[in-house]
Structure 1
């Protein structure tokens, strides 16, 4: 029942049917209030300079659009890089250094799934989770980091930064902001980006299937277990006979959840994403496969503005 509810909500936010469109229109007064608050916050924000290059990788829709893998791809090119994120799904509060130049310092419950994925994927970087991004940036400087990447930092108007916005290849048919639609900020805000990257054109997801770190084939009977936003988007990379079991975004799997799935699908193998894998590996599933995600950025994408921005700090400007 919960799985159907999550999928219904995501359909409502992005690709509503006739009934969902009616509900969306009825909620428009709340959407106008929400948009007014957003516009006031943006107009009143006074940018703070930190004397360190800060690259924000964000989007303006609810849920995933490739922020984390794009951040990994970009941050991997720099020495002494720090990635800062809120740490959704963690049980902790406040600021935590998840990894310091590759040394992992906390567990996944403290860090959250995305932060642990970043820590595992960036063995030379520093990863910090904090609700307060300003405190996290100051901590990054204290730790000697030379460049900061903000995962999902577009809405942090008070931080002077270089904004990269990711745009989905399948634009939502529901163009309204919350709660009438799936946009967190007005669609026109794409114009505020320093660089806009369109999925399918400027960047593409490259999926490989791995078992115990080795590239493998998907068994004929396989169940995909995931707790990411818009889980049905994963199915386009998989054979048609794959079954999907989805949980709410950032859900922390329990032993009871896994036991029920194993009982129902006794002769099946299981497949999951990198973000989910960091939470599932504690259950020691022997037949667990990984959808390993990489990002291929088109060679024609012009990053000269970003490079000039970063270089300006190296020159002391």
Structure 2
């Protein structure tokens, strides 16, 4: 059962598995992609001088629309440094806070205390906060980094920070799980920046650098999979554990009433959700099972991170 995808379902097919008329549409939109690429390169050329904010900054990003596993990697890097005595409680994650009902620079959590509700922080930031991270949301990434520094940060991890070329940072770029059908920028292809920008990354991890482990917390007999994430096909492997599955748009604002209706419709014993979606519905009083994705970094990856900290 696949519902509520609408425009996102079209985009997923258009970018990754287009039919013949979607390929034709992509070809017709090429002039706009060329303009988009030109503007992107122009923006980069004006930001080639990077500002040193006096703090270690690691950026985790990607070049394509949709999910590439940035959040789990940010968590893994956070845990790696936070477990070191010299960085304990001095690591912060800074992100935009997409679709939050607030503006400006907001401290979401610090030293295990969550300071604002999910609608103020955004679902991704709250996911980090629930997992114990120090978190700041800010449209202005520089302001977010400086706020973290003011609060005692020694390391800042920028979620989706690659495009902020004017900040001195160590750029980690993730490649998508599935290769886009077209290598052009939007709107012909899935690339938010030209594919050639991979050459600007400091490190591009491969499969040997990251080990992904997925498990279900609090599983029940009759689960319904409900998601509001980009590229929900990543969850296909869990279909066999569920009596039904529903995919909503990315960052979907769930209501308790509609989720309770889904539970009732399928006589389900719990909803199976991602940790990002759990952040939004944890206070609904609904039985929930959670897909927990954990990443283990290879020794090579860890050595690369440590090398940059020593060279800073």
Q: TM-score, normalised by structure 2?
A: 0.91
1:146 pairs with 2:154: yes
TM superposition shift of 1:305: 4.0
Structure 2: distance between partners of 1:81 and 1:141: 10
- Say what the alpha-carbon RMSD is for the aligned residues: 1.8
Call closer, same or farther: CA 1:194–1:291 in 2, change over 3 Å: same
Structure 1: distance between partners of 2:310 and 2:243: 47
How many aligned residue pairs are there?
Answer: 302
Question: Which residue is 1:107 aligned to?
Answer: 117
Structure 2: distance between partners of 1:270 and 1:51: 45
1:77 pairs with 2:80: yes
TM superposition shift of 1:303: 4.3
CA deviation profile, 1:239-258 (whole Å, cap 9, x unmatched): 27653211111111123422
Instruction: Find the residue that maps to 1:195 and give its secondary structure.
Output: coil
TM superposition shift of 1:65: 0.8
Question: Which residue is 1:29 aligned to?
Answer: 31
Instruction: Find the residue that maps to 1:58 and give its secondary structure.
Output: strand
Call closer, same or farther: CA 1:115–1:76 in 2, change over 3 Å: same
1:58 pairs with 2:47: no
TM superposition shift of 1:273: 0.4
Call closer, same or farther: CA 1:278–1:204 in 2, change over 3 Å: same
Instruction: Find the residue that maps to 1:37 and give its secondary structure.
Output: helix
Question: Which residue is 1:235 aligned to?
Answer: 236
Call closer, same or farther: CA 1:305–1:208 in 2, change over 3 Å: closer
Maintained 8 Å contact 1:84/1:128 = yes
Structure 1: distance between partners of 2:205 and 2:112: 28
Maintained 8 Å contact 1:207/1:237 = no
Call closer, same or farther: CA 1:173–1:228 in 2, change over 3 Å: same
CA deviation profile, 1:49-98 (whole Å, cap 9, x unmatched): 11111000111111211111101111112221011000012111111000
Question: Which residue is 2:84 aligned to?
Answer: none
Structure 2: distance between partners of 1:168 and 1:9: 15
Instruction: Find the residue that maps to 2:43 and give its secondary structure.
Output: helix
TM superposition shift of 1:263: 3.8
Gap regions ≥5 residues in structure 1: none
Question: Which residue is 2:96 aligned to?
Answer: 86
Instruction: Find the residue that maps to 1:291 and give its secondary structure.
Output: strand
Residue correspondence of structure 1 range 95-244 to structure 2 within 5 A: 95-121=105-131, 123=132, 125-198=133-206, 200-211=207-218, 216=219, 219=221, 221-239=222-240, 243-244=244-245
